[in-house]
Structure 1
Amino acid sequence: MLLNGKSLDKITESDLQELIDNGVAEGKTLDYKEKLSGNSDAEKKEFLYDVSSFANASGGNLIFGITEDKGIAIKIDGIETNDIDKEILRLDNILRDGISPRIPGIRIQPIQLRNNNYVIIIDIPRSFALPHMVTYKNSSRFYSRNSGGKYQLDVDEIRTSFTVSQGLIDRIRDFRREPLSMIIAEETPIILEKDAQLVLHLIPLNAFDLSSSISISDIDKIYRQNNCEYTSLFTPLDYENYSGFKRKYNLEGYLIFNESYENNSYISYTQIFRNRIIEAISTDFSSFSPQKNSYFIYQCYENTLIQGLKRYLKLSSLMNDFTPIIVFTTIINIRGYIMGYDPGFGRSFGNPIDRDNLILPEVMIEDYNVDLYQVMKPIFDTVWNAAGYPRSLNYDEQGKWLGINEVRSQKSGVPHYVPALSYRSCF
C-alpha cells in the first residue's frame, strides 16, 4: 500500500498530487527523484544503492518524476519517454544483474499524467533474504535506510543482517514442524477422515513481523466480499452430496471446512491464522480399489492441487501487501499407497510408498502470476519418486506440463480436471 491505503495499480495522478498538496516529505520508506536513472555506470550504481537500501531496511517506494525541495514534494513533471515499456524493461535488467541476492517482489508501476509524461513508482518490499549487495561493476557495497535516507552498512551491521535472515528461515521451518506434529497427532480443529491427508502451508515472509497480523473480522470480510466462498484445497467431484462450506472463528483465527456426507468426519479444512499464514488439508485425493485391494493416489491430484493453490494465492493477495510466500507440501498417512498411473493398460507400474509421511521440500512463490506448474514440478517429481517412478509422468521429458482435460460430474456439473494422457486413473 502507498497512498490512502491504495494498492500500487490503483494509484492515479490525483493521488500523486496529494503528495504535493500535503507536503509529504521523503523518509525511510519514500524517496523522490526528478529524473530517471540513466545508463552511465555512476547512475546505475546510484539507482542500485537506492533500491537495495529499501530492501535492506523496511521496504518502501522510489518515485521518479516528482521534484522535491529539501525532501518535500513540490512539483510533478513526470518522465518524458516515447516507450515506457522499454524504460521499465531497462530498469528491470539493471536490477536483475546488479544486486545479489535478487530482491523478490519488486514491482514497477508507470502512471501516465495529463501532460503525457509518466511518473514511475518502484515498490520495493522489505526483504527477508538479507542482506542485498550491489554487485554492478564489482561494487560489493551494502546499503540500508533510516529517516535521513540511505547509508552504507558497516561490518557489524552486515553481520547482523545475515543473522536476522537465517533466524527468519529457522522460524519458518520451526512453524511448519509444530502444526504438522499436531495434525499427525490428530489434534486438528475438526475431525478429519482417517485417510491419507495432503497438507499445504502458505507462509508469507512477513508473517513473523508483529505488524503483519490481521483481525479475524477483516478475514471474514475479505472472504465474503471477494468470491472466496469455495476456497478449498480440492473441490469435490460429487459436490451436491456435500453439505457445503462452513466457516467459524476459532482460537487461531478463521476456519473454513467442508463436511463429508458419509459420516461425521470432514474431508478438508482451511485454517487462516491471525498472522496471515494459511493451512489447508484435504483427504480427497486418493481412493480405495476393492479389485486390487489397494489405495491409489489420483494421477490427476497435481492439477487439482494447483487449482486449489491458485485460490489460496488469491486469498493471500487480498490479505497482504505483496510479499513472497513459502509453500510447504506434506502428505500424511501415505504408507502403502500406490500412484494411480494408468497409461491405458489398466495397471500401475509403481511401488507402494514405504513411509508414513512425505515431508516435501519448500518452494518460494515470488509472483502471484507465476507458472505454478513449473514452480511445483520439483515437489510433484519427489512424490512420484517416492512411488517408484523417475519423475512425474504428467510432464514430458523436457519438463513441460502435458495439459488437462475438463470432466464434469453428470449429476452436479462441477468441473474436475484430468491429465491429457489418461482419464481412467482419476476414478
Structure 2
Amino acid sequence: MALLNVPLDQIDEARLLALIAAGAAESRTIDYKRDSYGNAHADLSEWLADISSFANTAGGDLLLGMDAANGTPSTITPLTMPMDPEILRLEQSARGGLQPRITNLTFHPIPIAVGGNVLLVRVPRSFNSPHRIIRQGSNRFWARSAAGKYEPDVNELRALFNNGPQLAERIRNFRLDRVAKIAAGEAPVKLMDGGIVTLHVVPLSAFDVGLAAVPIRKVMIDYTAFLPYGSRSYTNSRITFEGILQTSNADQQAAQHRAYLQLYRNGIVETLTSTLAARSSGTPIISGLDDNLINEVQRILRDLAFYSIEPPYAVFVSLLEVKDMRIHLVRDPRDSSWYDNLSSPLDRDQYHFDEVIFETEPADAAECANVIRPILDQLANAGGTPGSPVFDASGVFVPFQRR
C-alpha cells in the first residue's frame, strides 16, 4: 500500500490509519519519521539525504509525525509546532542544501483529531538528477531501494548521470516518429487539407517501467476531458491499442476529420487540427495560432493533472503542409488593419519548434504563455517578425480581448 499516486487533498487521518492497519512498511517510495528534523548540522543533513534519495530514484512520500517499528508504521505521533514556519524552514534548507534544487517539492499538513499534524512531504521523481548535498561542503549523493536510502556506488552514480540524456532522446525520438507518420498520411484518421499543427505533451514519467496506466474507464465517461484540438464539446471516442482516440466528428468512420486527440496509456497526448489556415482571395492565412496554442496546452495540462499524471511535461509543436501560407500578425481578424499585417509566405513545408518543459501545471494563461514563449517567438520568426503578438513591447503577456 502506497500513497504516491493518491492526490494530496485525499490524504487525511483515516488514510494514515489505513497505512498502520495494512502494515505498509517503509519502501522505495515511503518513509516514516517520528519527529521533524532539528536545526543541527546532522539533522538537516539527514533531511537533505532523505529527500534527495527519493528525487534521485522514483520519488516518494516522507511522513513526519508517524512512528515506525522496524520500518512498519505503528502509531501517529503528531507534530505540535505551527506548520507554516516549519514548512518554510525545511523549504529553505532544501533550496540551499542541494544542487541542483528539487523542483515541485510539496508539503501537506494532515490535521489529527487529538491535535497537531502529520506533515507529508511529497518528493517528485527528478528529471534533473542526480542531486547532491552541498551543505557545508558535503558533496554526497543518495539513492533509495526497498530497504531505505543508501549511497550509490560508482556504476550506479554513472547511471544516474546518464539517465537524463537517454530519457530526453527517447522523448524527442517519439515526437519525431509520430510527426513523420502524420506527415506520411498515417494518422489514426483521415485528415482534411488545410495545413496541420501538431501538439504533443509528454509527461517525463511516461517511459517509466511500471508506470500506473491512464484510468481508461474513467476517462471514457468524462465528456469534458481530453477533447480534440479546437473542440469545445464531446464528439466521439473509442478505445484503441494505444489508449483512447477522440475525434472531432461524431462519426469516426467519416471520410475526413478536422481534428483528433490520442491519449496514450502512459499519459502522452497527441492532438492536432488539419484546418490550420483559412483562404482569403486564394491566399491561405493562419490566424489566432498563438492564442489557440496557449488554450490547448492549458487544457491538456489541466486534464493530465486531474487524472494524477504529474509534471514535469515536455511540450512539442510542429507545423506540417504550410508552405506558402501566411501568418496574420494581429490577434483579432476584425481589426481594420488585419489584411495589412500579413507575414511573408512561409518558405518550407514543415516547421518543428524547440520543446519547452512545464515543471508545474500553469496557474493561468499568462503563466502558460510565458513557458511556451520560445515556441511562440519561433513561430513569429518563421513569419519574418521578431516576436509573438501576445506579448507587448515590454515582454508582458496581454490577454486576448475581442473588439
Fold shared, TM-score > 0.5 on shorter chain: yes
Counterpart CA distance in 2 for 1:380 and 1:345 is 21
* Aligned residue in 2 for 1:16: 16
The 3-state SS of whatever aligns with 1:233 is coil
Determine which of 336, 349, 365 is the counterpart of 2:358: 365
Residue 226 of structure 1: how far off its partner (Å): 6.5
Equivalent residue, structure 2, for 1:63: 63
Provide the residue aligned with 1:386 in structure 2.
382
| Cross-structure match for 2:316 | 328
CA distance in 2, matches of 1:8, 1:399: 35
TM norm structure 1: 0.85
Distance 1:5 1:156, change over 3 A: closer
Code of the residue aligned with 1:269 in structure 2: it is Y
Deviations 1:156-175 (A, max 9, x none): 22112122222111111111
Q: Which segments of 5 or more consecutive residues in structure 1 lack a partner in the other structure? A: 406-417
Q: Distance in 2 between matches of 1:59 and 1:250?
A: 30
Q: Does the aligned pair in 1 maintain the 2:318–2:350 contact within 8 Å?
A: yes
Distance 2:92 2:385 in 1: 39
**2:107 counterpart SS class:** strand
Q: Distance in 2 between matches of 1:305 and 1:45?
A: 44
Amino acid at match of 1:376: I
1:315 to 295, 303, 318: 303
Query: Do the aligned residues in 2 keep the contact of 1:196 with 1:332 (CA within 8 Å)?
Result: yes
Runs of 5+ consecutive residues of structure 2 not aligned to the other structure: none
Contact (CA 8 Å) 1:232, 1:308: kept in 2 or not?
A: no
Q: Which one of 207, 216, 219 corresponds to residue 222 of structure 1?
A: 219
Letter in 2 for 1:29: T
1:36, 1:222 → 2: CA distance? 39
Aligned-residue offset at 1:385: 0.9
1:360-384 alpha-carbon deviations (Å, 9 max, x no partner): 1111112124421211111101100
TM-score with structure 2 setting the length: 0.90
What is the number of residues matched between the two proteins?
A: 393
Q: Secondary structure at the match of 2:205?
A: coil
Identity value in percent? 31
Whole-Å Cα distance in 2 between the matches of residues 204 and 272 of structure 1? 12
Letter in 1 for 2:140: R
Counterpart in the other structure of 2:239: 249
Q: Name the stretch that deviates more: 2-11 or 154-163.
A: 2-11
- Aligned residue in 2 for 1:267: 258
Deviation at 1:220, TM superposition (A): 4.2
Residues 145 and 382 (structure 1), Cα distance of their counterparts in 2 relative to 1, 3 Å cut: same
**1:359 is aligned with what amino acid?**
H
Classify the secondary structure of the residue corresponding to 2:237. strand
Letter in 1 for 2:349: D
Per-residue deviation, 1:356: 1.3
Partner of 1:350: 343
Q: Distance in 1 between matches of 2:230 and 2:383?
A: 22
CA contact (8 A) 2:236 2:250 kept: no
Question: Are 2:101 and 1:108 aligned?
Answer: no
What secondary structure sits across from 2:119 in the alignment?
strand
- Name the CA distance, whole Å, in 2 between partners of 1:51 and 1:20: 22
How big is the shift at 1:260? 9.6
Q: Structure 1 349/307 Cα, relative in aligned 2: closer, same or farther at 3 Å?
A: closer
107 and 336 in structure 1: CA distance in 2 versus 1, 3 angstrom threshold: same
2:298–2:362 CA contact under 8 A, matched in 1: no
- Report the aligned-residue RMSD: 2.5
